[in-house]
Structures are given as structure tokens and as C-alpha cells.
Structure 1
Amino acid sequence: MSDTASPVADSGSEIVPGVRVRVREGDRSSAPGTVVEDFAEEAAMTLTREWAPVRRWAVALDDGRLVFADDVESEPAHRQ
């Protein structure tokens, strides 16, 4: 586990694997999904290459895609 604290989302919830988030896809709208892995230690490493940079979060999107992102926003819990 990383020595750095996990970021706290705007809603006050900690972003960890299993948390629902929204990932912004370029200039398009954000897509909902679930964090499946936190690569904090790997993302902080200095690489000798510029291609295929390491991203902080692995997120399984609701549409079935797996994406890697540096920034995610927590998604409010659904109220019933």
C-alpha cells in the first residue's frame, strides 16, 4: 500500500477499490463505473519511457470497458 493518503472525493468519501466513480473521457461527458484497483505506487514511479504512462486508477465502466485514469470523481450513492 502506498504511504500517500488516498484522495478524498468531493462528497467526503474515500476513493478505494469498490467505490462508484465517474471518469471523464476526454472532451466527452463522464462515464460511471467502479474502481477495481489503485496503482498509487506504480503511478508515482519515474519511467524512462513516455509511451503508455501508468495511470492511478483502474475503473470497470458500466458499459463493460476497463479504463485507466488519473482523475476520478466519486459518484453519489443512489437514494431509494
Structure 2
Amino acid sequence: MKYPPPATPEGSRVRIQLHEGGTVTDVECTLVGDYGDEIAALRNDVGRQWARPQRYGIVLDDGRLVFTDVVARID
């Protein structure tokens, strides 16, 4: 599987849904990495079925690093 080129460049402000303690919140944050090519190179074979890799590295405004497959660019 080959991911399409990133429509959202690194450093862009994005919005994601953050799931914490049974609550879902939309948060604005910064995209710091797109790992689509690396994930595609694995061909979905990471040797396990749990903790699957996510495409995007995101830094929340409070400094936490999270990973997700879905981002919405803020224009």
C-alpha cells in the first residue's frame, strides 16, 4: 500500500479528535511528521496485531506527542 503524498505539510496547524477518559475533544495542534512511506514499506507486517503504527506525528499545544491516521488541516 502506498500512501498518497501529504496534503498537509509538516509544521501545519491541524485539528484532530483526542480520546481521553471516555471523552472525545476536537483539538488544534501541529503536524510534525508524516510516516506514510515508512508504514507502506512495512506492508502491514509489524509482527503483531496490536499497537498498529499511525501515519501522523502530532504535537499538542501542551507539548504531548500523539499519533493518528486522520488530520484535518486548519486553513
The normalised TM-score by structure 2 is 0.75
Q: What's the Cα RMSD here? A: 1.8
Point out the structure with the larger strand share. Answer: 2
Measured after TM superposition, the shift of residue 42 of structure 1 is 2.4
**What whole-Å deviation, never above 9, does each CA across 1:40-79 have from its counterpart, x for those lacking one?**
0222321220122110000111121110000011112xxx
Alignment of 1:1-80 (within 5 A): 4-7=3-6, 14-26=7-19, 28-44=24-40, 45=42, 46=44, 47-76=46-75
- How far apart are the structure 2 equivalents of 1:16 and 1:40? 12
What percentage of residue pairs aligned between the two structures are identical?
35
Point out the structure with the larger helix share. Answer: 2
Q: In the comparison of the two structures, how many residue pairs are matched?
A: 68
Q: Which amino acid aligns with 2:63?
A: G
Gaps of at least 5 residues in structure 1 are 8-13
Gaps of at least 5 residues in structure 2 are none
The normalised TM-score by structure 1 is 0.71
Instruction: Give 3-state SS (helix, strand or coil) of 1:52's partner.
Output: coil
- How far apart are the structure 1 equivalents of 2:3 and 2:69? 15
